[in-house]
């Protein structure tokens, strides 16, 4: 949902299993994907100073041995 005059946006990405994506220069991991999306959000903010955008990444993948941590 978005109001027609909204200038604030949050994009939340939840990683549920380890994977890679095809990026501009080959395969990228979750951290690299977040960096690209955050960079795009900053570009949009720079173009319009009234815009507030945040990209939030949550790594919800299971640890191999969660007890070791």
Asked if residues 44 and 6 have their Cβ atoms less than 8 Å apart, the reply is no
Q: Among 43, 19, 44, which Cα is nearest to 32's?
A: 19
Question: pTM for the full model?
Answer: 0.78
Which pLDDT score is estimated for 65?
63
| Predicted pLDDT of residue 66 | 59
Q: What angle do CA 38, 31, 65 make, to 5 degrees?
A: 145
Per-residue pLDDT of the chain (69 residues; tens, 9 = 90+): 567 788 899 999 999 998 999 988 899 999 999 999 999 999 999 999 899 999 999 999 987 765 665
C-alpha distance across the termini of the chain, in Å? 39
Ramachandran category for residue 9: left, alpha or beta (phi over 0 → left; psi -120 to 50 → alpha): beta
């Amino acid at each position: 949902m978005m109001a027609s005059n909204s200038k604030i946006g949050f994009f939340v990405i939840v990683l549920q299993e380890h994977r890679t994506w095809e990026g501009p220069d080959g395969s990228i991991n979750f951290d690299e994907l977040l960096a690209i999306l955050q960079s795009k959000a900053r570009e949009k903010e720079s173009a319009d100073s009234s815009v507030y955008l945040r990209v939030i990444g949550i790594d919800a993948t299971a640890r191999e041995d969660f007890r070791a941590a």
